[in-house]
A and B are shown apart, each in its own frame.
Chain A
Amino acid sequence: MLKKIIYLFFFLSVGTPLFASTEDGAKLIEYWYIVLPFVVLLLMIATGPLFYHHFWERHYPKVAIALGSVTVLFYLIVLHDTHSLVHTLAEYLSFIALLSSLFVASGGILIKVDRKATPALNVLILLFGSVISNVIGTTGASMLLIRPFIKINKDRIKPYHIVFFIFSVSNIGGALTPIGDPPLFLGFLRGVEFFWVVQHVWYIWAPTLLVVLGIFFVIDSLNKLGSNSENEYTGKIQFKGLKNIWFLVIIIISVFLDPGVVSWIPSLSPMPFGIREIIMFSVVYFSYKKADQEALRGNEFDFEPIREVAYLFAGLFATMIPALQLIAYEANIFGDELDAGLFFWATGSLSAFLDNAPTYLNFLSAEMGKFAMDVNDKSEVLLFEIEHPIYLQAISVAAVFFGAMSYIGNAPNFMVKSISERAGIQMPSFFGFMVKYSIPILLPIFILIWWIFFYGNG
């Protein structure tokens, strides 16, 4: 077991091609070092904000684009492969269209709650946020709810409030639909059916969330801060910028507007985008232009978080092309030795520290390679989800859930931390978050999930 894990980690951390099976992969074997830009970028994303943040804040766009360009030029000049590049560009545009439209549309809605916080009300808010994160994404739900959550708890707020918000709303909650979390959306773009996730993950999602919120309830019940507060509350809940809900509805409907899903939707091929992306980018423009200024101000709206995601993922999408192809190529070799439990831990461990979206895609590629299937072929992805659901289930759950293990596991984690600090809350450090919260609380739960659902399976 340990040996197998080491093989998997070795590949993703050093870049040595352990997996191979497709033609593209075979060609890449002699150029294995072309995965180095991907490894370097992932490591810099993980370490930049922590150890050299002044440099990182200023130069991350240049770093991401430069590393991405190395891979693009390699494919153009050495491999003469434009197909992989155009395919990846189309996937990137779909990805960033969804994220940016959800980000901007939800950033224009302000919720004001004037109620006294109680542990039960807090649990209800976290549960509500977890559910709606499947409709407006973990990013959208986090943006929408973090401020009202802080506000109602202003007399008794402690860092654990924010930490459990990150656990539930920003991560675990969004495991039920492809809109919920970026890795699942990448799976959807590759051919995983939209409702496959909810059908196969809900019975892991529900007890996990129940346990996390149960722990939160106990901790919150022990918090007596603010119990003598003389503040008076009207009990009112007010909304500003509600018209943006219509933009959210348009985004959700447009997710399905794919020629592969709805036959009458025209394909704009050879353009690397479709009707769906045009609609989503239009929503970005109009939802910002028409947004309620007071709501934007109340949310302290800033394009920087989505700008960061756009640049970093441009680099990630480009640099991970050879990694995906190499993984698919050599998964056959170790195929018999890799079970669903192993994929659960490998995907989870990397998702905790690296970005969970490319991690999911890498391991989907590896799993399919084990069965001599190609992640770039939608019909094979469809076949894979039917014939080997336990594998897809393992990486879907792990990629989303483990994103809560650290601040860098999922994009909304840092956004929530940043908003909380802007609200004056001193958040735990990177390691403090893990040592005090995610390792003692989440890790035992994840071990249980593995033991119940994946141990010895596949």
Chain B
Amino acid sequence: MRTIDEVLKSKINGMHYGNRLLLPFCAEILKVSIEDDLIMDFSTEQDDAEYNINDEFTEIYFHKYKSLEEVVTKYEVIKMIVVESGSDLFNFNDHRKVSIDILPNHIAEIKEIEDDQIFID
């Protein structure tokens, strides 16, 4: 299982297929900003999004959208706050802010959120 640090350091990309985003690390997802939506409720009662942590990756389904490529434009990113599996969820220092660029050919480029891209925990 890759860590978030390894993914960021080695610039390992995630993938997107339609409304499904695959991240090459395992993490709890606390908050996602996509388009005009700020998603924090991943419960089954909401139909905005759901995520699953698998052995080697984390997958998110954005039910509201058909295709992430159509929704997230050239200058936009998906922003999220994640906590690596095994880390202390309740320690704010373990909360990582990452941005995802949706690129052609199913590539989802993962970066640490830059200073310009404000994302409040």
Encode B92-121 as 1/0 by CB contact (under 8 A) with A.
000000000000000000000001111111
Among A38-46, A178-186, A293-301, A344-352, the stretch in contact with B:
A293-301
Cβ 8 A contact of A300, one of B38, B77, B120: B77
| B67–chain A nearest beta-carbon distance, Å | 13
Q: For window 60-96 of chain A, which residues contact chain B by CB distance below 8 Å?
A: none
Among A146-154, A213-221, A270-278, A353-361, the stretch in contact with B:
A146-154
Cβ 8 A contact of A110, one of B33, B116, B120: B116
Residue pair B75, A422 in contact (C-beta under 8 Å): no
Given contacts A421-B38, A424-B120, contact A302 B76 (CB under 8 A): yes
B36: nearest chain-A partner, CB-CB: A418
Count A-B pairs with CB separation below 8 Å. Answer: 54
B72: nearest chain-A partner, CB-CB: A302
Interface status of A224 (Cβ within 8 A of chain B): no
Given contacts A423-B120, A424-B121, contact A297 B33 (CB under 8 A): no
Interface status of B20 (Cβ within 8 A of chain A): no
Tell me which residues across on chain A come within 8 A of B73, comparing CB atoms. 302-304
Give bound CA distance, A425 to B38, whole Å.
8
Tell me which residues across on chain B come within 8 A of A422, comparing CB atoms. 33, 36, 38, 79
Tell me which residues across on chain B come within 8 A of A110, comparing CB atoms. 116
Tell me which residues across on chain B come within 8 A of A296, comparing CB atoms. 75
Give bound CA distance, A2 to B86, whole Å.
65
Interface status of A112 (Cβ within 8 A of chain B): yes
Residue pair A423, B118 in contact (C-beta under 8 Å): yes
Residue pair B118, A147 in contact (C-beta under 8 Å): yes
Interface status of A3 (Cβ within 8 A of chain B): no
Residue pair B36, A424 in contact (C-beta under 8 Å): no
Give bound CA distance, A294 to B75, whole Å.
9
Tell me which residues across on chain A come within 8 A of B121, comparing CB atoms. 424
Tell me which residues across on chain B come within 8 A of A294, comparing CB atoms. 116
Give bound CA distance, A134 to B109, whole Å.
40
Residue pair A151, B33 in contact (C-beta under 8 Å): no
Total contacting residues, chain A, CB less than 8 A: 25
Residue pair A300, B76 in contact (C-beta under 8 Å): yes
Tell me which residues across on chain A come within 8 A of B75, comparing CB atoms. 296-297, 299-302
Given contacts A421-B33, A422-B33, contact A157 B120 (CB under 8 A): yes
Cβ 8 A contact of B120, one of A297, A299, A302, A425: A425
Encode A415-428 as 1/0 by CB contact (under 8 A) with B.
00010011111100
Tell me which residues across on chain A come within 8 A of B119, comparing CB atoms. 423-424
Give bound CA distance, A302 to B35, whole Å.
10
Q: Which of B33, B37, B64, B116 has the most CB of A within 10 A?
A: B116
Give bound CA distance, A110 to B81, whole Å.
24
Give bound CA distance, A296 to B40, whole Å.
27
* 5 intermolecular pairs with C-beta atoms under 8 Å apart: A300-B75, A422-B79, A423-B118, A423-B120, A424-B31
A residues contacting B by CB (< 8 A) are 54, 110, 112, 147, 150-151, 154, 157, 294, 296-304, 418, 421-426
B residues contacting A by CB (< 8 A) are 31, 33, 36-38, 40, 64, 73, 75-77, 79, 81, 115-121
Give 7 nearest A-B pairs by CB, closest first. A424-B120, A298-B116, A421-B38, A423-B118, A301-B75, A424-B119, A418-B36
